[in-house]
Amino acid sequence: MERTTSDAPATATSADDTDRAWSVEFRAVYRTSHDPLVRLAAMLLGNRAEAEEVVHEAFMAAAGRFPEIDNAGAYIRRSVVNGAHGVLRRRRIADRHRPDPPPPEAPVQLVELRDVLLGLSWNQRTVIVLRFLEGLSVRETADILGCRESTVRSHCRRGLQALREELSS
């Protein structure tokens, strides 16, 4: 029997894992519950993409435990609600940790540099700040980050390239 994307888990490691995780009963629960659960999560989150991710995670978590779950529909619905709550909690935390607005007297170029720095990956930003704002050597930066000097040089090169591209546009 050929499985469609709605019948097969995206992260199955083998055909045997897929067959065990997606019994006939579980596939029936998936088919009847998926769309209503996405609607539920979308109403809680206000974002369909996040809702689909939460529902997917709930089904994947339940797949391995399906034989021991008494009421799969209720269990997965509760998992979706909990997952949506977790997304909202992470959003609130992220909102609290947004960067401070720049002071009104800050030069435009400095504000632009700061905004571009904040757009870099954590590793690139950390290396550039330690190397150029703190004036540390490659070795000192590597020691602080607990990585090799070549890793520091790589993050630095990529971060500087991204800064050049972003600031030149």
User: What is the identity of the amino acid at 159?
Assistant: G
Whether the predicted pLDDT of 113 surpasses 90: no
- Residues 116, 81 share a domain: no
Query: What tokens were used for 154?
Result: 């790589």
How many domains, in total, are found in the chain? 2
Range from 23-32, 98-107, 124-133, 151-160 that averages highest in pLDDT: 151-160
Residue 146 belongs to domain with CATH number? 1.10.10.10
141 in any annotated domain: yes
34 in any annotated domain: yes
5 in any annotated domain: no
- Residues 19, 92 share a domain: yes
Residue 21 pLDDT class (50, 70, 90 cuts): very low
- Residues 113, 65 share a domain: no
Of 66, 96, 126, which residue is a domain's last? 96
The structure's pTM equals: 0.52
Q: What is the mean pLDDT of residues 74-95?
A: 90
Q: Residues of the chain with pLDDT > 70: what percent?
A: 87
Q: What is the mean pLDDT of residues 22-36?
A: 88
- Residues 150, 128 share a domain: yes
Residue 3 pLDDT class (50, 70, 90 cuts): very low
Q: Is the dihedral of CA 85, 46, 31, 74 positive or negative?
A: positive
Report the alpha-carbon distance of residue 81 to residue 114 in Å, rounded: 37
Q: What is the per-residue pLDDT for 16?
A: 52
- Residues 156, 113 share a domain: yes
- Residues 92, 19 share a domain: yes
For 20, the domain range is 15-96
Residue 83 pLDDT class (50, 70, 90 cuts): very high
Q: What is the mean pLDDT of residues 118-141?
A: 92
- Residues 115, 76 share a domain: no
6 in any annotated domain: no
Of 96, 130, 150, which residue is a domain's last? 96
Q: What is the mean pLDDT of residues 117-127?
A: 90
What angle do helix axes 138-145 and 149-168 make, rounded to 10 degrees?
100
66 in any annotated domain: yes
Whether the predicted pLDDT of 39 surpasses 60: yes
Q: What is the per-residue pLDDT for 64?
A: 81
